[in-house]
Chain A
Amino acid sequence: MSDTISVNGEQHSLPSDPRTSLLDFLRHDLGLTGTKKGCDHGQCGACTVIVNGIRINSCLTLAAMHDGDEITTIEGLGTPENPSALQKAFLEHDGFQCGYCTPGQICSATAMLQEIANNWPSDASESLEGEMAATGEEIRERMSGNLCRCGAYANIVAAISEVAEESA
């Protein structure tokens, strides 16, 4: 049984208590507190991280199930000195108030832009096939797993739209 997990490029041993969620492993065992615990039931998206390029709720998966996987958290996307394009855009567009949902929003949006680049459809897509575009309607649907209790949605969509346009 392989017992390591890669987090932001660093190898770590998996926890001994199988009950440890990936979220608790990141926060408590590794001290990566950027990933947030909101509801702990997959409803709010504050715990969103990227596993092997795919975004998931880290609260609804056990760390033990991720042997050999590569995890990227908000800490792995950029630094205060060298933020990612989305991190910069969230600052410029004031895409938050309290900031608690922000790491999840940014991890989610990072993977979402890749999904659009892959031409994966969403419930908002008129056609299931062909090229997908990051319209406001698409962004709102595709980001519906990330709640913002402060209601900064308009600025979150503006921040994501800007980065989507730049990378289009």
Chain B
Amino acid sequence: MRPFSYTRARTLDDAAQLTHDDTALAIAGGTNLLDLMKLQVETPETLADINRIGFGGIEDTDDGGLSIGALASNTETAVHPRVRSDYPVLARAILAGATQQLRNKATTGGNLCQRTRCFYFTNIDQPCNKREPGSGCGAIDGIAKLHAVLGTSDQCIATYPGDMAVALSALDAQVEIAKPGGDTRTVPVRDFHCLPGDTPWRENVLEEGELITAVALPAPVGGTQIYRKVRERSSYAFALVSVAAVVEIEHGKFTRADLAFGGLAHKPWHDPRIGEALIGKVPSEDLFDKAADILLEDARGFGENDFKIPLARRTLHAVLQNATEAAA
């Protein structure tokens, strides 16, 4: 690790001031950041430890929803009684990711800001437009098994690797952000992460000095919640494809179909047209195919990851089939 100075922030203001500088980074759980610092992918001059500024609680909101503090650990969220009963897709997504040791340290805010696991990004000997703008993308003609098939650019085909945010996207959660100076803003999880475009180094909408303070879940809805993760081994592996589904079927027809997909893009993928195509329709193989056609309309493989396109179709089918069976 490169030398850095370490400071403990005591308040949110403290933290905002300490990180309002592009050579400084906030550290919470540290499981991703310290890994990248050891690899010299991240080389901050200052680390601001934000673990003691509050924002770790999980609390009911006035509208019947739930606010999950930015510093709540992934474990605290997954085992929270209301998350287990009202938002099972979120508990399932978290439990499907990483290991217990990592989930015990990983935080809500940190997990949303998790960096890609692209081999070219984490290896400083390799070209990577995300890590070193203008150096090229090694993955486009290289090792691309884990890479994106949706929303890619000629600059970057990396994926957002997390599971939690995929469930948050299906649940239409809101990210609460504190700006330097005391103002706040709220961004839907669905708009929090960016596509790579011409600025692959920009992974989310956070500006310098801004910090996530909480994620707010809307009041719970009925129906079935499913998180289906397909991976190369049954535990401790990133998703090749994952589907988070919040689905309601009444009188034999879809009345709600909020779907989000992991492993396919630089962000948890949510396409409102899929829900629109399903709602009001009777579940059938043909209908599931239509939903998959919409999802994969612009999908493009890069050789090693071509398999993700049919895999996403089959996983979506399986999830919609399971949801239909659960409603029967």
Q: Which residues of A contact B (CB under 8 A)?
A: 1, 18-19, 21, 40-42, 45, 48, 54-57, 60-62, 64-65, 108, 111-112, 115, 118, 120-123, 125, 128-129, 140-142, 144-145
Contact = CB atoms under 8 A, between A and B. Distances in A.
B95 A121 contact: yes
Given A62-B34, A120-B79, A145 B88 contact: no
A121 B75 CA distance: 10
B104 interface: yes
B283 to A, nearest CB: 24
A83 B34 CA distance: 34
Given A65-B51, A121-B79, A141-B235, A45 B30 contact: no
Most B CB within 10 A of own CB, among A1, A41, A120, A123:
A123
A48 B101 CA distance: 8
14 contacts: A18-B6, A40-B38, A56-B105, A60-B34, A60-B105, A61-B30, A62-B34, A121-B91, A122-B100, A123-B95, A123-B235, A128-B85, A141-B235, A144-B235
Nearest to A112: B100
B5 A18 contact: yes
A55 B104 contact: yes
A27 to B, nearest CB: 16
A64 B8 CA distance: 9
Given A42-B31, A65-B51, A128-B88, A121 B104 contact: no
Given A57-B102, A144-B235, 12 more contacts: A41-B38, A42-B102, A56-B105, A60-B34, A60-B35, A60-B102, A61-B30, A121-B78, A123-B95, A128-B84, A141-B235, A144-B236
B316 to A, nearest CB: 21
A45 B105 CA distance: 14
A145 B101 contact: yes
B101 A56 contact: yes
B84 A55 contact: no
Nearest to A129: B84
B92 interface: yes
B85 A129 contact: yes
Contact of B3 (A19, A54, A64): A19
A143 to B, nearest CB: 8
A77 B6 CA distance: 31
B4 interface: yes
B170 interface: no
Contacts of B88: 128
Given A57-B31, A120-B75, A128-B92, A145 B3 contact: no
Nearest to A17: B3
B295 interface: no
B248 interface: no
Contacts of A1: 8
Interface in B217-255: 234-236
Contact of A45 (B5, B51, B101): B101
Contacts of A108: 100-101
Most B CB within 10 A of own CB, among A62, A65, A144:
A65
Interface in B65-107: 75, 78-79, 84-85, 88, 91-92, 95-96, 98-102, 104-105
Contacts of B101: 42, 45, 48, 55-57, 108, 145
